Amino acid sequence: NEDQFKKVISHAKEYGYVFQSSEIYDGLSAVYDYAQNGVELKKNIRDYWWKAMVQMHDNIVGIDAAIFMHPTTWKASGHVDAFSDPLIDNKDSKKRYRADVLVEDYCAKIEAKIEKEVKKAEKRFGEAFNKEEFLSTNGRVLGYQEKIETILKRLGQSLEKEDLADVKALIEELGIACPVAGSKNWTDVKQFNLMFGTKLGASAESAMDLYLRPETAQGIFVNFLNVQKTGRMKIPFGIAQTGKAFRNEIVARQFIFRMREFEQMEMQFFIKPGTQKEWFDYWKETRLKWHKSLGLGADNYRFHDHEKLAHYADAATDIEFKFPFGFKELEGIHSRTDFDLKQHEEFSGKKLQYFDHEDKESYTPYVLETSIGLDRMFLAVFSNALVEEELENNTTRTVLKLPAVLAPTKAAILPLVKKDGLPEVAKKIVEDLKWDFNVTYDEKDAVGRRYRRQDANGTPFCITVDHDTLEDNSVTIRHRDTMEQKRVKIEDLKDIIKAEVDV
Protein backbone atom coordinates (compact mmCIF):
# COMPACT_ATOMS: atom_id res chain seq x y z
CA ASN A 1 0.00 0.00 0.00
CA GLU A 2 0.90 3.64 -0.31
CA ASP A 3 2.18 4.12 3.24
CA GLN A 4 4.46 1.11 3.02
CA PHE A 5 5.79 2.40 -0.30
CA LYS A 6 6.55 5.83 1.18
CA LYS A 7 8.46 4.11 3.97
CA VAL A 8 10.46 2.14 1.42
CA ILE A 9 11.48 5.30 -0.41
CA SER A 10 12.49 7.19 2.70
CA HIS A 11 14.32 4.20 4.18
CA ALA A 12 16.24 3.82 0.92
CA LYS A 13 17.46 7.37 1.30
CA GLU A 14 18.05 7.39 5.05
CA TYR A 15 20.20 4.27 4.97
CA GLY A 16 22.26 5.17 1.92
CA TYR A 17 20.63 2.92 -0.67
CA VAL A 18 19.06 5.24 -3.27
CA PHE A 19 19.28 9.00 -3.74
CA GLN A 20 17.47 11.16 -6.20
CA SER A 21 19.86 12.17 -8.98
CA SER A 22 21.24 15.72 -8.78
CA GLU A 23 19.27 16.27 -5.60
CA ILE A 24 20.88 19.64 -4.82
CA TYR A 25 19.33 20.90 -8.07
CA ASP A 26 15.94 19.48 -7.02
CA GLY A 27 16.52 16.22 -8.82
CA LEU A 28 15.91 14.94 -12.32
CA SER A 29 12.65 13.18 -12.96
CA ALA A 30 12.90 9.37 -12.97
CA VAL A 31 16.67 9.32 -12.61
CA TYR A 32 18.25 7.95 -9.45
CA ASP A 33 21.69 7.37 -7.97
CA TYR A 34 22.67 4.29 -6.02
CA ALA A 35 24.37 5.22 -2.77
CA GLN A 36 27.05 3.46 -0.71
CA ASN A 37 24.80 0.56 0.34
CA GLY A 38 22.65 0.54 -2.78
CA VAL A 39 25.62 0.02 -5.04
CA GLU A 40 26.57 -3.11 -3.07
CA LEU A 41 23.04 -4.52 -3.08
CA LYS A 42 22.75 -3.85 -6.79
CA LYS A 43 26.10 -5.49 -7.48
CA ASN A 44 25.13 -8.53 -5.41
CA ILE A 45 21.86 -8.94 -7.32
CA ARG A 46 23.74 -8.66 -10.61
CA ASP A 47 26.31 -11.22 -9.44
CA TYR A 48 23.57 -13.57 -8.23
CA TRP A 49 21.97 -13.42 -11.67
CA TRP A 50 25.29 -13.77 -13.50
CA LYS A 51 26.29 -16.77 -11.45
CA ALA A 52 22.98 -18.55 -12.09
CA MET A 53 22.91 -17.72 -15.79
CA VAL A 54 26.56 -17.77 -16.94
CA GLN A 55 28.64 -19.61 -14.35
CA MET A 56 26.12 -22.41 -13.79
CA HIS A 57 25.26 -22.97 -17.46
CA ASP A 58 28.17 -24.31 -19.47
CA ASN A 59 26.39 -23.29 -22.69
CA ILE A 60 25.87 -19.63 -21.75
CA VAL A 61 28.59 -16.99 -22.07
CA GLY A 62 28.57 -13.28 -21.33
CA ILE A 63 29.43 -10.15 -23.29
CA ASP A 64 29.53 -6.43 -22.58
CA ALA A 65 28.50 -4.59 -25.73
CA ALA A 66 28.71 -0.81 -26.12
CA ILE A 67 25.75 1.42 -25.36
CA PHE A 68 26.19 3.18 -28.69
CA MET A 69 25.35 1.08 -31.70
CA HIS A 70 25.23 1.75 -35.41
CA PRO A 71 21.97 3.63 -36.03
CA THR A 72 20.77 1.04 -38.56
CA THR A 73 20.56 -1.41 -35.65
CA TRP A 74 17.45 0.39 -34.44
CA LYS A 75 15.84 0.46 -37.87
CA ALA A 76 16.35 -3.29 -38.16
CA SER A 77 15.09 -4.00 -34.66
CA GLY A 78 11.90 -2.06 -35.26
CA HIS A 79 12.58 0.52 -32.55
CA VAL A 80 12.70 3.53 -34.89
CA ASP A 81 9.24 2.76 -36.26
CA ALA A 82 7.49 1.04 -33.43
CA PHE A 83 9.08 1.64 -30.03
CA SER A 84 6.53 4.06 -28.74
CA ASP A 85 3.85 4.48 -26.13
CA PRO A 86 0.43 6.09 -26.59
CA LEU A 87 0.50 9.60 -25.16
CA ILE A 88 -2.44 11.84 -24.31
CA ASP A 89 -2.47 15.40 -22.95
CA ASN A 90 -5.16 16.97 -20.88
CA LYS A 91 -5.64 20.51 -22.15
CA ASP A 92 -7.19 21.83 -18.94
CA SER A 93 -4.66 20.55 -16.44
CA LYS A 94 -1.76 20.64 -18.94
CA LYS A 95 -0.79 17.22 -17.68
CA ARG A 96 0.62 14.47 -19.83
CA TYR A 97 -0.37 10.84 -19.48
CA ARG A 98 0.34 7.44 -20.98
CA ALA A 99 -3.07 6.54 -22.32
CA ASP A 100 -2.73 2.83 -21.63
CA VAL A 101 -1.53 3.43 -18.07
CA LEU A 102 -4.43 5.77 -17.45
CA VAL A 103 -6.84 3.02 -18.36
CA GLU A 104 -4.83 0.44 -16.41
CA ASP A 105 -4.88 2.63 -13.30
CA TYR A 106 -8.58 3.04 -13.67
CA CYS A 107 -9.01 -0.74 -13.76
CA ALA A 108 -6.74 -1.08 -10.71
CA LYS A 109 -8.93 1.41 -8.83
CA ILE A 110 -12.01 -0.62 -9.60
CA GLU A 111 -10.21 -3.78 -8.50
CA ALA A 112 -9.28 -2.08 -5.23
CA LYS A 113 -12.96 -1.26 -4.70
CA ILE A 114 -13.85 -4.92 -5.17
CA GLU A 115 -11.18 -5.92 -2.68
CA LYS A 116 -12.54 -3.43 -0.17
CA GLU A 117 -16.04 -4.84 -0.50
CA VAL A 118 -14.66 -8.35 0.02
CA LYS A 119 -12.76 -7.31 3.16
CA LYS A 120 -15.84 -5.58 4.57
CA ALA A 121 -18.02 -8.61 4.00
CA GLU A 122 -15.38 -10.95 5.39
CA LYS A 123 -15.38 -8.95 8.61
CA ARG A 124 -19.15 -8.96 8.79
CA PHE A 125 -19.73 -12.66 8.08
CA GLY A 126 -16.62 -14.07 9.77
CA GLU A 127 -16.28 -17.84 9.44
CA ALA A 128 -19.40 -18.13 7.32
CA PHE A 129 -17.93 -15.96 4.56
CA ASN A 130 -17.64 -17.56 1.16
CA LYS A 131 -15.64 -15.40 -1.24
CA GLU A 132 -16.65 -17.13 -4.47
CA GLU A 133 -20.31 -16.87 -3.60
CA PHE A 134 -19.97 -13.24 -2.55
CA LEU A 135 -18.22 -12.30 -5.79
CA SER A 136 -20.88 -13.95 -7.89
CA THR A 137 -23.91 -12.59 -6.06
CA ASN A 138 -23.15 -9.13 -4.68
CA GLY A 139 -24.75 -6.53 -6.92
CA ARG A 140 -22.19 -3.77 -6.44
CA VAL A 141 -19.26 -6.12 -7.01
CA LEU A 142 -20.90 -7.52 -10.14
CA GLY A 143 -21.24 -3.97 -11.44
CA TYR A 144 -17.54 -3.33 -10.92
CA GLN A 145 -16.59 -6.59 -12.57
CA GLU A 146 -18.73 -5.81 -15.55
CA LYS A 147 -16.98 -2.48 -15.98
CA ILE A 148 -13.55 -4.10 -16.06
CA GLU A 149 -14.71 -6.78 -18.46
CA THR A 150 -16.11 -4.16 -20.80
CA ILE A 151 -12.84 -2.25 -20.81
CA LEU A 152 -10.73 -5.34 -21.37
CA LYS A 153 -12.99 -6.55 -24.13
CA ARG A 154 -12.82 -3.21 -25.90
CA LEU A 155 -9.08 -2.85 -25.61
CA GLY A 156 -7.69 -6.34 -25.48
CA GLN A 157 -4.79 -7.17 -23.20
CA SER A 158 -2.62 -4.29 -24.31
CA LEU A 159 -3.21 -1.17 -26.29
CA GLU A 160 -2.24 -1.32 -29.92
CA LYS A 161 -1.99 1.50 -32.42
CA GLU A 162 -5.35 0.82 -34.03
CA ASP A 163 -7.08 1.19 -30.68
CA LEU A 164 -6.00 4.77 -30.10
CA ALA A 165 -9.25 6.49 -31.05
CA ASP A 166 -11.05 3.95 -28.95
CA VAL A 167 -8.81 4.68 -25.97
CA LYS A 168 -9.52 8.37 -26.15
CA ALA A 169 -13.24 7.73 -26.33
CA LEU A 170 -13.01 5.43 -23.36
CA ILE A 171 -11.01 7.92 -21.27
CA GLU A 172 -13.63 10.59 -21.93
CA GLU A 173 -16.58 8.31 -21.42
CA LEU A 174 -15.36 6.99 -18.10
CA GLY A 175 -14.17 10.38 -16.90
CA ILE A 176 -10.92 8.66 -16.01
CA ALA A 177 -8.68 10.12 -13.31
CA CYS A 178 -7.82 13.68 -14.10
CA PRO A 179 -7.03 16.53 -11.72
CA VAL A 180 -9.68 18.59 -13.47
CA ALA A 181 -12.78 16.70 -12.48
CA GLY A 182 -14.89 15.48 -15.34
CA SER A 183 -12.59 17.08 -17.88
CA LYS A 184 -13.25 15.99 -21.44
CA ASN A 185 -10.68 18.32 -22.91
CA TRP A 186 -8.15 15.77 -24.11
CA THR A 187 -5.87 15.85 -27.14
CA ASP A 188 -5.90 12.91 -29.52
CA VAL A 189 -3.74 9.97 -28.53
CA LYS A 190 -0.33 10.16 -30.23
CA GLN A 191 2.46 7.62 -30.48
CA PHE A 192 5.59 8.88 -28.73
CA ASN A 193 8.96 7.26 -29.49
CA LEU A 194 10.84 6.37 -26.32
CA MET A 195 14.40 6.41 -27.66
CA PHE A 196 16.83 9.16 -26.66
CA GLY A 197 18.69 10.61 -29.62
CA THR A 198 22.18 12.05 -29.62
CA LYS A 199 24.96 12.84 -32.07
CA LEU A 200 28.32 11.24 -32.79
CA GLY A 201 31.14 13.32 -34.28
CA ALA A 202 32.35 16.89 -33.89
CA SER A 203 31.51 18.73 -37.08
CA ALA A 204 27.96 19.49 -38.03
CA GLU A 205 28.30 17.93 -41.49
CA SER A 206 29.84 14.66 -40.43
CA ALA A 207 27.81 14.17 -37.27
CA MET A 208 25.77 11.00 -37.20
CA ASP A 209 22.44 10.61 -35.45
CA LEU A 210 22.66 7.99 -32.75
CA TYR A 211 20.38 6.55 -30.11
CA LEU A 212 21.11 5.55 -26.57
CA ARG A 213 20.15 1.87 -26.54
CA PRO A 214 16.64 1.25 -25.19
CA GLU A 215 17.48 -2.42 -24.51
CA THR A 216 20.65 -4.46 -24.27
CA ALA A 217 19.37 -7.30 -26.46
CA GLN A 218 20.44 -5.86 -29.81
CA GLY A 219 24.11 -5.85 -28.75
CA ILE A 220 23.75 -9.61 -28.36
CA PHE A 221 22.00 -10.18 -31.70
CA VAL A 222 24.59 -8.31 -33.76
CA ASN A 223 27.37 -10.28 -32.02
CA PHE A 224 25.67 -13.63 -32.39
CA LEU A 225 28.01 -15.01 -35.06
CA ASN A 226 31.17 -13.50 -33.50
CA VAL A 227 30.48 -15.26 -30.23
CA GLN A 228 29.32 -18.50 -31.85
CA LYS A 229 32.46 -18.78 -33.99
CA THR A 230 35.11 -17.60 -31.52
CA GLY A 231 33.56 -19.53 -28.63
CA ARG A 232 32.88 -22.61 -30.83
CA MET A 233 29.37 -22.57 -29.41
CA LYS A 234 26.91 -25.31 -30.39
CA ILE A 235 23.18 -24.67 -30.51
CA PRO A 236 21.43 -24.50 -28.10
CA PHE A 237 23.54 -21.80 -26.43
CA GLY A 238 23.00 -18.46 -24.79
CA ILE A 239 24.63 -15.03 -24.57
CA ALA A 240 24.06 -12.98 -21.43
CA GLN A 241 24.62 -9.32 -20.78
CA THR A 242 23.96 -6.74 -18.11
CA GLY A 243 24.08 -3.02 -18.74
CA LYS A 244 22.39 0.35 -18.94
CA ALA A 245 19.40 1.04 -21.15
CA PHE A 246 17.59 4.34 -21.69
CA ARG A 247 13.93 5.10 -22.34
CA ASN A 248 12.26 8.47 -22.44
CA GLU A 249 9.28 7.22 -20.47
CA ILE A 250 6.24 9.49 -20.85
CA VAL A 251 5.27 9.37 -17.23
CA ALA A 252 7.86 8.18 -14.81
CA ARG A 253 6.47 6.99 -11.54
CA GLN A 254 6.93 4.62 -8.70
CA PHE A 255 10.49 5.39 -7.71
CA ILE A 256 13.00 3.04 -9.34
CA PHE A 257 10.26 0.89 -10.90
CA ARG A 258 10.15 2.99 -14.06
CA MET A 259 13.26 5.02 -14.74
CA ARG A 260 14.62 6.88 -17.74
CA GLU A 261 18.08 5.40 -17.23
CA PHE A 262 18.07 1.85 -15.90
CA GLU A 263 19.92 -1.43 -16.06
CA GLN A 264 18.85 -4.67 -17.67
CA MET A 265 20.03 -8.24 -17.26
CA GLU A 266 19.23 -10.07 -20.46
CA MET A 267 19.96 -13.46 -21.93
CA GLN A 268 19.28 -14.54 -25.49
CA PHE A 269 19.17 -18.30 -25.97
CA PHE A 270 19.73 -19.45 -29.57
CA ILE A 271 17.84 -22.58 -30.49
CA LYS A 272 16.82 -24.75 -33.40
CA PRO A 273 13.56 -23.65 -35.05
CA GLY A 274 10.72 -25.86 -33.89
CA THR A 275 12.08 -26.30 -30.36
CA GLN A 276 10.87 -22.92 -29.08
CA LYS A 277 7.92 -24.29 -27.12
CA GLU A 278 10.03 -26.60 -24.97
CA TRP A 279 12.65 -23.89 -24.35
CA PHE A 280 9.97 -21.35 -23.52
CA ASP A 281 8.67 -23.72 -20.84
CA TYR A 282 12.19 -24.50 -19.66
CA TRP A 283 13.10 -20.84 -19.17
CA LYS A 284 9.78 -19.98 -17.56
CA GLU A 285 10.36 -22.62 -14.95
CA THR A 286 14.08 -21.92 -14.55
CA ARG A 287 13.63 -18.20 -14.06
CA LEU A 288 10.78 -18.61 -11.57
CA LYS A 289 12.95 -21.02 -9.59
CA TRP A 290 15.72 -18.42 -9.51
CA HIS A 291 13.34 -15.85 -8.05
CA LYS A 292 11.97 -18.27 -5.48
CA SER A 293 15.47 -19.28 -4.39
CA LEU A 294 15.83 -15.86 -2.76
CA GLY A 295 13.04 -16.62 -0.31
CA LEU A 296 10.93 -13.49 -0.86
CA GLY A 297 7.78 -15.65 -0.64
CA ALA A 298 6.37 -17.93 -3.34
CA ASP A 299 2.98 -16.17 -3.23
CA ASN A 300 4.55 -12.93 -4.37
CA TYR A 301 5.06 -14.17 -7.93
CA ARG A 302 2.70 -14.96 -10.75
CA PHE A 303 2.94 -15.44 -14.50
CA HIS A 304 1.07 -13.16 -16.82
CA ASP A 305 0.88 -14.83 -20.22
CA HIS A 306 0.43 -12.39 -23.08
CA GLU A 307 -2.53 -12.95 -25.33
CA LYS A 308 -1.73 -10.15 -27.73
CA LEU A 309 1.85 -10.62 -28.86
CA ALA A 310 4.45 -8.14 -30.06
CA HIS A 311 5.24 -8.43 -33.75
CA TYR A 312 8.47 -10.36 -33.04
CA ALA A 313 7.11 -12.92 -30.61
CA ASP A 314 5.27 -16.23 -30.88
CA ALA A 315 4.87 -16.57 -27.10
CA ALA A 316 5.49 -14.24 -24.17
CA THR A 317 4.97 -14.16 -20.46
CA ASP A 318 5.84 -11.80 -17.63
CA ILE A 319 6.93 -12.84 -14.20
CA GLU A 320 5.00 -10.41 -12.04
CA PHE A 321 5.97 -9.54 -8.48
CA LYS A 322 3.80 -8.16 -5.72
CA PHE A 323 5.28 -4.69 -5.26
CA PRO A 324 3.85 -2.36 -2.57
CA PHE A 325 1.61 -0.96 -5.34
CA GLY A 326 0.41 -4.36 -6.55
CA PHE A 327 1.45 -7.10 -8.96
CA LYS A 328 3.62 -5.66 -11.75
CA GLU A 329 6.03 -6.95 -14.37
CA LEU A 330 9.47 -7.80 -13.04
CA GLU A 331 10.82 -9.97 -15.84
CA GLY A 332 9.81 -10.80 -19.39
CA ILE A 333 10.30 -14.15 -21.13
CA HIS A 334 9.83 -13.96 -24.86
CA SER A 335 9.95 -16.47 -27.66
CA ARG A 336 11.26 -14.12 -30.37
CA THR A 337 11.47 -16.60 -33.30
CA ASP A 338 14.09 -15.65 -35.90
CA PHE A 339 12.72 -12.12 -36.17
CA ASP A 340 15.76 -10.25 -34.88
CA LEU A 341 18.48 -12.21 -36.67
CA LYS A 342 16.51 -12.14 -39.96
CA GLN A 343 16.04 -8.38 -39.65
CA HIS A 344 19.76 -7.86 -39.05
CA GLU A 345 20.56 -10.11 -42.02
CA GLU A 346 18.31 -8.02 -44.20
CA PHE A 347 19.57 -4.61 -43.06
CA SER A 348 23.28 -5.51 -42.90
CA GLY A 349 23.40 -7.80 -45.92
CA LYS A 350 25.40 -10.30 -43.82
CA LYS A 351 24.34 -13.86 -43.15
CA LEU A 352 23.74 -14.69 -39.50
CA GLN A 353 23.34 -18.42 -39.89
CA TYR A 354 24.44 -21.43 -37.95
CA PHE A 355 25.80 -24.57 -39.57
CA ASP A 356 24.62 -27.68 -37.80
CA HIS A 357 27.39 -30.28 -38.23
CA GLU A 358 25.22 -33.19 -37.22
CA ASP A 359 22.29 -32.44 -39.51
CA LYS A 360 24.56 -30.91 -42.16
CA GLU A 361 22.32 -27.90 -42.66
CA SER A 362 22.43 -24.14 -42.14
CA TYR A 363 19.65 -22.19 -40.53
CA THR A 364 18.86 -18.90 -38.82
CA PRO A 365 18.34 -19.81 -35.15
CA TYR A 366 15.26 -18.98 -33.13
CA VAL A 367 15.70 -17.00 -29.95
CA LEU A 368 14.31 -17.38 -26.47
CA GLU A 369 14.85 -14.28 -24.33
CA THR A 370 14.82 -13.67 -20.60
CA SER A 371 14.91 -9.99 -19.69
CA ILE A 372 14.83 -8.54 -16.20
CA GLY A 373 15.30 -5.02 -14.92
CA LEU A 374 18.04 -4.86 -12.29
CA ASP A 375 16.51 -1.78 -10.66
CA ARG A 376 13.09 -3.43 -10.54
CA MET A 377 14.66 -6.48 -8.95
CA PHE A 378 16.33 -4.15 -6.44
CA LEU A 379 12.95 -2.63 -5.62
CA ALA A 380 11.38 -6.08 -5.27
CA VAL A 381 14.07 -7.27 -2.87
CA PHE A 382 14.26 -4.01 -0.91
CA SER A 383 10.53 -3.40 -0.49
CA ASN A 384 9.94 -7.03 0.47
CA ALA A 385 12.71 -6.88 3.08
CA LEU A 386 11.58 -3.78 4.95
CA VAL A 387 9.47 -4.73 7.96
CA GLU A 388 8.48 -3.16 11.22
CA GLU A 389 8.29 -5.69 14.01
CA GLU A 390 6.43 -5.41 17.28
CA LEU A 391 8.67 -6.67 20.05
CA GLU A 392 7.63 -8.23 23.33
CA ASN A 393 8.46 -5.12 25.37
CA ASN A 394 5.99 -3.09 23.26
CA THR A 395 8.67 -1.42 21.20
CA THR A 396 9.03 -1.75 17.45
CA ARG A 397 12.14 -2.41 15.46
CA THR A 398 12.75 -1.66 11.81
CA VAL A 399 14.50 -4.53 10.08
CA LEU A 400 15.69 -4.84 6.52
CA LYS A 401 15.47 -8.59 6.06
CA LEU A 402 17.56 -8.78 2.92
CA PRO A 403 18.57 -12.28 1.81
CA ALA A 404 22.04 -12.72 3.36
CA VAL A 405 23.58 -13.44 -0.02
CA LEU A 406 22.48 -9.99 -1.24
CA ALA A 407 23.08 -7.89 1.88
CA PRO A 408 25.63 -5.09 1.32
CA THR A 409 27.40 -5.73 4.63
CA LYS A 410 27.53 -9.28 5.91
CA ALA A 411 28.64 -8.57 9.48
CA ALA A 412 29.21 -5.67 11.86
CA ILE A 413 31.95 -6.11 14.45
CA LEU A 414 31.19 -4.27 17.68
CA PRO A 415 33.39 -3.83 20.76
CA LEU A 416 31.07 -3.75 23.77
CA VAL A 417 32.93 -0.72 25.13
CA LYS A 418 35.50 1.64 23.66
CA LYS A 419 38.25 0.65 26.08
CA ASP A 420 40.11 -2.19 27.81
CA GLY A 421 41.57 -3.43 24.54
CA LEU A 422 38.19 -4.49 23.10
CA PRO A 423 38.41 -2.17 20.02
CA GLU A 424 41.77 -3.71 19.12
CA VAL A 425 40.38 -7.25 19.20
CA ALA A 426 37.33 -6.18 17.17
CA LYS A 427 39.50 -4.45 14.57
CA LYS A 428 41.65 -7.56 14.28
CA ILE A 429 38.49 -9.58 13.48
CA VAL A 430 37.57 -7.01 10.81
CA GLU A 431 41.04 -7.39 9.29
CA ASP A 432 40.66 -11.18 9.13
CA LEU A 433 37.10 -11.29 7.80
CA LYS A 434 37.37 -8.57 5.16
CA TRP A 435 39.28 -10.87 2.81
CA ASP A 436 36.10 -12.90 2.43
CA PHE A 437 33.19 -10.56 3.16
CA ASN A 438 32.14 -6.95 3.28
CA VAL A 439 32.25 -6.23 7.01
CA THR A 440 32.06 -3.05 9.05
CA TYR A 441 33.33 -1.83 12.41
CA ASP A 442 31.09 0.21 14.71
CA GLU A 443 31.92 1.47 18.22
CA LYS A 444 29.57 4.44 18.53
CA ASP A 445 26.58 4.42 20.96
CA ALA A 446 25.29 1.71 23.27
CA VAL A 447 25.40 -1.78 21.80
CA GLY A 448 21.59 -2.04 21.65
CA ARG A 449 21.41 1.00 19.43
CA ARG A 450 24.15 -0.37 17.24
CA TYR A 451 22.15 -3.59 16.82
CA ARG A 452 19.10 -1.59 15.72
CA ARG A 453 21.17 0.43 13.28
CA GLN A 454 22.53 -2.74 11.69
CA ASP A 455 19.02 -4.29 11.61
CA ALA A 456 17.73 -1.31 9.67
CA ASN A 457 20.76 -1.47 7.42
CA GLY A 458 20.12 -5.11 6.54
CA THR A 459 23.31 -6.56 8.06
CA PRO A 460 22.65 -10.27 8.78
CA PHE A 461 25.16 -10.62 11.65
CA CYS A 462 26.42 -8.55 14.56
CA ILE A 463 29.54 -9.83 16.28
CA THR A 464 30.19 -8.43 19.73
CA VAL A 465 33.54 -8.46 21.49
CA ASP A 466 33.27 -8.24 25.29
CA HIS A 467 35.58 -8.68 28.29
CA ASP A 468 35.17 -12.47 28.26
CA THR A 469 36.54 -12.48 24.73
CA LEU A 470 39.93 -11.55 26.15
CA GLU A 471 39.82 -14.77 28.21
CA ASP A 472 38.08 -17.33 25.97
CA ASN A 473 38.66 -16.07 22.40
CA SER A 474 34.91 -16.25 21.86
CA VAL A 475 32.42 -13.61 20.75
CA THR A 476 28.65 -13.22 20.71
CA ILE A 477 27.11 -13.53 17.27
CA ARG A 478 23.62 -12.11 16.87
CA HIS A 479 21.33 -13.04 14.03
CA ARG A 480 19.40 -10.13 12.49
CA ASP A 481 16.09 -11.90 11.84
CA THR A 482 15.76 -14.02 14.99
CA MET A 483 17.80 -11.72 17.28
CA GLU A 484 19.18 -14.97 18.65
CA GLN A 485 22.61 -14.68 20.24
CA LYS A 486 25.21 -17.40 20.43
CA ARG A 487 28.67 -17.66 21.88
CA VAL A 488 31.15 -18.85 19.25
CA LYS A 489 34.92 -19.11 18.80
CA ILE A 490 36.53 -16.31 16.80
CA GLU A 491 38.23 -18.91 14.61
CA ASP A 492 34.81 -20.34 13.59
CA LEU A 493 33.33 -17.00 12.49
CA LYS A 494 34.33 -17.32 8.86
CA ASP A 495 32.61 -20.69 8.40
CA ILE A 496 29.49 -19.59 10.26
CA ILE A 497 29.05 -16.52 8.08
CA LYS A 498 29.95 -18.41 4.91
CA ALA A 499 27.27 -21.00 5.59
CA GLU A 500 24.62 -18.26 5.44
CA VAL A 501 25.86 -15.95 2.72
CA ASP A 502 27.19 -18.43 0.17
CA VAL A 503 24.91 -19.78 -2.52
Question: Which residues contact ligand ATP by CB under 6 A?
Answer: 215, 247, 249, 258-259, 262, 264, 329-332, 371-373, 375-376
Pick 260 or 480: Cβ nearer ligand ATP: 260
Could you tell me the smallest distance in angstroms from the CB atom of residue 302 to ligand ATP? 14
DSSP string, 303-341: EEE-SS--TT-SEEEEEEEEETTEEEEEEEEEEEETHHH
- Cβ atoms of 187 and 89 within 8 Å: the answer is yes
DSSP string, 431-456: HHHTTTS-EEE--SS-HHHHHHHHHH
Pick 213 or 410: Cβ nearer ligand ATP: 213
Give the count of beta carbons closer than 10 Å to the beta carbon of residue 346: 10
- Known binder of ligand: residue 336? no
- Cβ atoms of 330 and 319 within 8 Å: the answer is yes
Contacts of 189 (CB under 8 A, 6+ apart): 86, 87, 88, 99, 164, 165, 167, 168
Could you tell me the smallest distance in angstroms from the CB atom of residue 304 to ligand ATP? 10
Pick 38 or 332: Cβ nearer ligand ATP: 332
H-helix or E-strand spanning residue 346: helix 339-348
Sign of the dihedral defined by the CA atoms of residues 11, 16, 20, 22, in that order: positive
- Known binder of ligand: residue 149? no
- Known binder of ligand: residue 192? no
- Known binder of ligand: residue 373? yes
- Known binder of ligand: residue 257? yes
Q: What letter represents residue 152's amino acid? A: L
Pick 376 or 450: Cβ nearer ligand ATP: 376
Give the count of beta carbons closer than 10 Å to the beta carbon of residue 200: 12
Give the count of beta carbons closer than 10 Å to the beta carbon of residue 33: 14
Sign of the dihedral defined by the CA atoms of residues 238, 243, 248, 250, in that order: positive
Could you tell me the smallest distance in angstroms from the CB atom of residue 182 to ligand ATP? 29
Q: Rounded to 5 degrees, what angle do the CA atoms 465, 422, 441 make? A: 65
- Known binder of ligand: residue 195? no
- Known binder of ligand: residue 263? yes
Could you tell me the smallest distance in angstroms from the CB atom of residue 53 to ligand ATP? 15
Could you tell me the smallest distance in angstroms from the CB atom of residue 5 to ligand ATP? 16
Pick 62 or 479: Cβ nearer ligand ATP: 62
Give the count of beta carbons closer than 10 Å to the beta carbon of residue 160: 15
φ, ψ at 84 (rounded to 5°): -145, 160
Could you tell me the smallest distance in angstroms from the CB atom of residue 328 to ligand ATP? 7
Pick 213 or 258: Cβ nearer ligand ATP: 258
Could you tell me the smallest distance in angstroms from the CB atom of residue 85 to ligand ATP? 8
Which residue of the chain is nearest ligand ATP when measured via CB? 373
- Known binder of ligand: residue 173? no
- Known binder of ligand: residue 172? no
Pick 30 or 439: Cβ nearer ligand ATP: 30
Binding residues for substrate: 98, 215, 262-266, 369-373
As annotated, the binding site for ATP includes 247-249, 257-262, 329-330, 373-376
Extract the annotated binding site.
98, 215, 247-249, 257-266, 329-330, 369-376
